[in-house]
Amino acid sequence: MRVELDQITKIFGKLRANNAISMTLEGGRIYAILGENGAGKSTLMKILSGYQPPDSGRILLDGTPVSFSTPADALNFGIGMLHQDPLDVPSLTVLENFMLGEPGGLLPRRKAARETLIAFAERFGFTLRPDAYVDGLTIGERQQLEIVRLLSRGAQVLILDEPTTGISADQKAALFGSLQRLAHTGGLTVILVSHKLEDVEVLCDEVVVLRQGQVVGQVMMPYPTDQLVTLMFGKALDRTPRQPFERQAQTKVLHVKALTVPDSRVALVDISLEVEAGEVIGMAGLDGSGQNAFLRACAGLQFGTAGEIRLADTDVTRWNYHDRAQLGVAYAPAGRLEEGLVTGLTLTEHVALTSPAGRRVNWKTATQETKARIAHYSIRGQPDSQIETLSGGNQQRTLLSLLPSTLKLLLLENPTRGLDVESARWVWQQLLERRATGTAILFTSPDLDEIVEYSDRIIVFFGGKARMLNDPSQTSLTELGQMIGGK
């Protein structure tokens, strides 16, 4: 199906999220929409998939102007969207999710739906058990379910938002294979929204680059990578080479011995690890493979049933989170407004809350301290700004600014979640500065690129078991992708 966007404009307050965007996407081809955070790609896709109406402009499908007010409406016109976190209902089964929203009478036709589900899944080589509960599925499997559902509902245009985050190399290969078949032999229009250039290069036929709400280029693939980057950012980005880590053998910060942690999904079994001061260890793994459980166990947020955790010379196996914090352990969660910062509290209140002050709060010194941190961490905000009014990048900066200045061990869950490339680099620059003071860093990330780039050592988690890679430079992304998938 040919999709034409004609002068699409969407304004939020003063921000022109989409400024007269026009493009034509033909059936049978795979497109990528590239752009940094805030470039307007998600707004545009929300308009195309029926979540938001444009302020002005038209959408034409095969030459006919259409308008729709809900995503369900858009799907009736043949436009289906696969979200990064697939929009399903975890407490329902695969079959129930497949049937949910299907038009029909009062009583669903379970048998027919089951047959359709199995038939579609087989056609793409997906293995979906109709009676399995979705909350036990991996992100990759949930994506497969959504794709099957959208196609069975007659989707002619498939929009995929960051579909390769958190899936294994195998699942990625299967996904790309089926997308290519859908487009090149099935005639579908496939639109990939991503910031991962290597995915775009492997999969797409054509790339549309957005910057500041406008189309700045539509190019055929293959196309030189550095020129794509220049298009996205308006300038070339250079990578600062990073200092290799020097082992100092004497200063062990963390020592985990034969740790076993029960978890709702996979139990961690018999994990051992020694971490030295200043070392950065990246933890790779599919969602729920045990890496986050391990991180939380190190922080004292979750307890093991066997094994031992020592910080320097202290056995902290039974210590809780707050007690371990006293020894210089800090943990920064991925969900910033959910479990990192307090909505409704100002920056100063956050600083006062985390300052080990006396019983009374001295608001004057707290405000001064806040100003100092705003300057040091270049946070765009005022001492009395409420935290939720800050952008995601500035919230992450605030979170980092709240960490104690001297730390032995810093545990980070997906430290650059939702950040664009520039903010992410800034965050890592801050983190790596901490190494100089002997802080060891353990972090998880669904972004294998990030893990390979910043880690001195990598631990790969699969099904609750850990595998240590001592020299990341010897590992390619593809190998790592296969390892997180259990190979």
Partner 1 sequence: MADDTLINTLAGIVRSGAPLILAATGETFTERAGVVNLSLDGSLMLAGLAGFVIAFNTQSLILGTAAAIVVGATIALIVAASSIELKQSQVAVGFILTLLCRDLAIFLGTSYRGKAGLPAPHLDIPLLRDIPIAGPILFQQDVFTYLSFAVIIFAWFWIYRTRPGLILRSVGERPPTTFARGGNVNRLRYLYTALGGALVGLAGATYTLNIAPGWNDSAIIGNGWIALAIVIFGGWYPVRVAFGVYLVAGLRTLASGLQANGIPIALLNAIPWLLMIVTLLAVSGPYLDRLLKILPSRLHPLVRTLLRARPPAALGTIFEQEGQK
Partner 2 sequence: MDVVRRSDNRFTGLIRLAVTLGPALLIVVVALALILLAINKDPVTAVLQFIDGALGTDQRRSDVLMIALPVLLCSSGLLLTFTAGLWNIGIEGQVAMGAIFATGIARLVTVNTSSWLAIPAELALAMLGGALWALLAALLKTRGNVNEIFGGVALNFIAGNILLFLLNGPWQAGNYPQTAPFEAPALLPRLTPSLSLSLPALAIAATGFLAVFFILRGTHWGLQLRAMGRNARSAFMLGVRTERNMLLSMALCGMLAGLAGALLVISPISRGKLVPNISGGLGFLGVLVVLLVNVLPTWVPFVALFFAIIPIGTLKLQNLGIDPSLGNVFQSALVLAVLLANGFRTRLSRTSRES
Contact residues for partner 2, defined by CB under 8 A: 321-322, 325, 331, 333, 337-345, 349-350, 352-354, 357-361, 402
Q: Which residue, 111 or 364, has its beta carbon nearer to partner 2?
A: 364
Q: Which residue, 260 or 367, has its beta carbon nearer to partner 1?
A: 260
E strand or H helix at 305: none
Q: Are strands 440-444 and 268-276 parallel, antiparallel or unpaired?
A: unpaired
317 dihedral zone (left: phi>0; alpha: psi -120 to 50; beta): alpha
Contact call for residue 100 and partner 1 (CB under 8 A): yes
Which residues make Cβ contacts (< 8 Å) with residue 301, sequence separation at least 6?
A: 321, 331
Q: Which residue, 38 or 333, has its beta carbon nearer to partner 2?
A: 333
CB of 441 to partner 2, least distance (A): 17
Q: Which of 289, 286, 283 is nearest to 265 (CA)?
A: 289
CB of 359 to partner 2, least distance (A): 5
Which of partner 1, partner 2, none interacts with 322 (beta carbon under 5 to 8 A by kind)? partner 2
Q: Which residue, 339 or 449, has its beta carbon nearer to partner 2?
A: 339
Contact call for residue 87 and partner 1 (CB under 8 A): yes
The tokens for 5 are 């966007």
Taking CB under 8 A as the binding criterion, the range among 106-114, 172-180, 339-347, 460-468 that sits at the site for partner 1 is 106-114
Contact call for residue 51 and partner 1 (CB under 8 A): yes
Which of partner 1, partner 2, none interacts with 172 (beta carbon under 5 to 8 A by kind)? none
Which of partner 1, partner 2, none interacts with 14 (beta carbon under 5 to 8 A by kind)? none
Which of partner 1, partner 2, none interacts with 429 (beta carbon under 5 to 8 A by kind)? none
Please list every residue from 439 through 468 that binds partner 1, using CB under 8 A. Answer: none
Which of partner 2, partner 1, none interacts with 125 (beta carbon under 5 to 8 A by kind)? none
Contact call for residue 222 and partner 1 (CB under 8 A): no
Q: Where are the alpha helices (DSSP H) in 24-155?
A: 41-48, 71-76, 94-99, 110-123, 139-152
- How many Å separate Cα 308 from the centre of its chain? 31
* 263/370 Cα distance (integer angstroms): 38
From 14, 63, 64, 105, residue interacting with partner 1 (rule: CB under 8 A): 105
Q: Which of 419, 406, 473, 423 is nearest to 445 (CA)?
A: 419
Contact call for residue 337 and partner 1 (CB under 8 A): no
Q: Which residue, 111 or 359, has its beta carbon nearer to partner 2?
A: 359
Which of partner 1, partner 2, none interacts with 124 (beta carbon under 5 to 8 A by kind)? none
CB of 385 to partner 2, least distance (A): 13
Q: Which residue, 272 or 343, has its beta carbon nearer to partner 2?
A: 343
DSSP for 411-438 reads EEESTTTT--HHHHHHHHHHHHHHHTTT
Residue 15 bridge partners (DSSP):
12
Q: Which of 279, 202, 251, 274 is nearest to 472 (CA)?
A: 279
Residue type, 449: D
The tokens for 343 are 């909505």
CA–CA–CA angle 279, 429, 309 (5° rounding): 30
* 397/375 Cα distance (integer angstroms): 11
Angle 392-402/363-376 helices, nearest 10 degrees?
A: 120
Contact call for residue 101 and partner 1 (CB under 8 A): yes
Q: Which residue, 12 or 363, has its beta carbon nearer to partner 1?
A: 12
Which of partner 1, partner 2, none interacts with 286 (beta carbon under 5 to 8 A by kind)? none
From 17, 21, 44, 46, residue interacting with partner 1 (rule: CB under 8 A): 46
Q: Which of 473, 462, 421 is nearest to 168 (CA)?
A: 462
From 22, 62, 89, 357, residue interacting with partner 1 (rule: CB under 8 A): 89
Enumerate binding residues for partner 1 (CB under 8 A). 46, 51-53, 70-73, 75, 81, 87-92, 96, 99-102, 104-108
